[in-house]
């Protein structure tokens, strides 16, 4: 008997998705990528089983993940990383970058609008109000339907939500990562913002996939958070 994935309302603006989502970063992101044919087959398999919430970002690949996902489905993508430098990602939340990133994602995904558009990381040099005002304009223009934010502080969430209602906050939440339960989860529930957890299996720990050998492959970035999770896993398992 086929499993039926239930559907839920994300936030309070009427956005309905499958309760279980599919993070597409692993198809052509920071690990051993699969072929386009295999990636499309995986997406199709998930879709046929009721998953309608597919999550990507312009930095995955980079850029190529959106192209792959756009060949089959469209739903949620993200912006905000201008480049990857030696000191880490360069975050840009200026109105100009918001618009240029959105236009580029529309082209790669080959769609007229994006259902859910996330700020992938907060640009602390640009007031969040400026970023949100531009996103609000894009909603009014019909180029995006709903706005989300990833890895933001409670204060930033409040300020962003005051400009335009946030539909979703994406954050790491699992038995491994519980600190978000102190302030962010209650705040989202109070404001009626949907919660989209990533890495619910502890970046591989609860799936039994992270091990010492992982450190010599590209999987180290994704599964180990620059080695930290690998270290904890190795200590526990040994």
The HSE-up count of residue 38 (CA atoms within 13 Å, CB side) is: 7
CATH 3.20.20.100 holds for 7-200: yes
138: which 2 tokens?
């894009």
- pLDDT at site 51: 86
Bridge partners for 146 per DSSP: 116
Measured CA to CA in angstroms, residue 176 lies from 119, 141, 161, 224, 234 at distances of 24, 40, 28, 12, 15
Range among 7-16, 128-137, 168-177, 191-200 rated most confident: 128-137
Provide CATH 3.20.20.100 ranges for the chain.
7-200
Q: What is the DSSP string of 159-179?
A: HHHHHS---EEEEE-SSS--G
Identify the band that residue 148 occupies on the pLDDT scale cut at 50, 70 and 90.
very high
Residue 227 scores a pLDDT above 80? no
Dihedral angle computed from the Cα positions of residues 201, 205, 209 and 215, in that order, rounded to the nearest 10 degrees: 130
35: which 2 tokens?
């072929």
User: For the chain, where are the alpha helices, taking DSSP H only?
Assistant: 25-28, 36-48, 64-70, 95-109, 128-140, 154-163, 184-191, 219-224, 228-237
Residue 7 scores a pLDDT above 80? yes
Whole-prediction pTM: 0.75
- pLDDT at site 124: 96
Helix 154-163 to helix 128-140 angle, to the nearest 10 degrees? Answer: 40
196: which 2 tokens?
């989209």
SS3 category, 72: coil
Catalytic residue among 60, 117, 118, 146: 60
Helix 154-163 to helix 184-191 angle, to the nearest 10 degrees? Answer: 20
Higher pLDDT, 65 or 18: 18
CB environment 115-135: b (16+ within 10 A), e (fewer): bbbbbbbbbeebebeebbebb
pLDDT tens figures, 161-200: 999 999 999 999 988 889 999 999 999 999 999 999 988 8
Task: Please compute the mean of the pLDDT values over residues 53-82 and round it to a whole number.
Answer: 67
Task: Please compute the mean of the pLDDT values over residues 101-122 and round it to a whole number.
Answer: 91
Task: Please compute the mean of the pLDDT values over residues 104-110 and round it to a whole number.
Answer: 88
- pLDDT at site 152: 97
DSSP-derived pairing of the beta strands 81-85 and 88-91? antiparallel
Mean pLDDT of the chain: 81
Is residue 223 within 8 A of residue 204, CB to CB? The reply is yes
Is 234 known to be catalytic?
no
Identify the band that residue 218 occupies on the pLDDT scale cut at 50, 70 and 90.
very low
Q: Which residue has the tokens 């400009």?
A: 163
Range among 45-59, 69-83, 104-118, 219-233 rated most confident: 104-118
């Amino acid at each position: 008997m086929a499993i039926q994935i239930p559907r839920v309302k994300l936030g309070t603006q009427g956005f309905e998705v499958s309760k279980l989502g599919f993070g597409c970063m692993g198809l052509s992101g920071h690990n051993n990528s699969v072929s386009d044919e295999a990636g499309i087959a995986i997406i199709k398999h998930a879709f046929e089983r009721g998953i309608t919430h597919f999550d990507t970002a312009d930095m995955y690949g980079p850029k190529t993940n959106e192209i792959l996902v756009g060949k089959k489905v469209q739903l949620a993508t993200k912006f905000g990383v201008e480049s990857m430098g030696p000191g880490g990602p360069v975050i840009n939340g200026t109105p100009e970058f918001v618009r240029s990133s959105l236009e580029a994602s529309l082209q790669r995904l080959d769609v007229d609008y994006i259902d859910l558009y996330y700020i992938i990381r907060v640009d602390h040099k640009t007031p969040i109000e400026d970023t949100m005002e531009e996103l609000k304009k894009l909603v009014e223009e019909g180029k995006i339907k709903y706005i989300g934010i990833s890895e933001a502080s409670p204060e930033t969430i409040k300020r962003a939500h005051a400009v335009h209602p946030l539909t979703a906050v994406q954050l790491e939440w699992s038995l491994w990562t519980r600190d978000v339960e102190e302030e962010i989860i209650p705040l989202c529930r109070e404001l009626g913002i949907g919660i989209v957890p990533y890495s619910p299996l502890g970046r591989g720990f609860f799936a039994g996939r992270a091990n010492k050998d992982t450190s010599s492959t590209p999987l180290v970035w994704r599964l180990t958070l620059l080695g930290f999770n690998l270290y904890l896993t190795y200590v526990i398992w040994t």
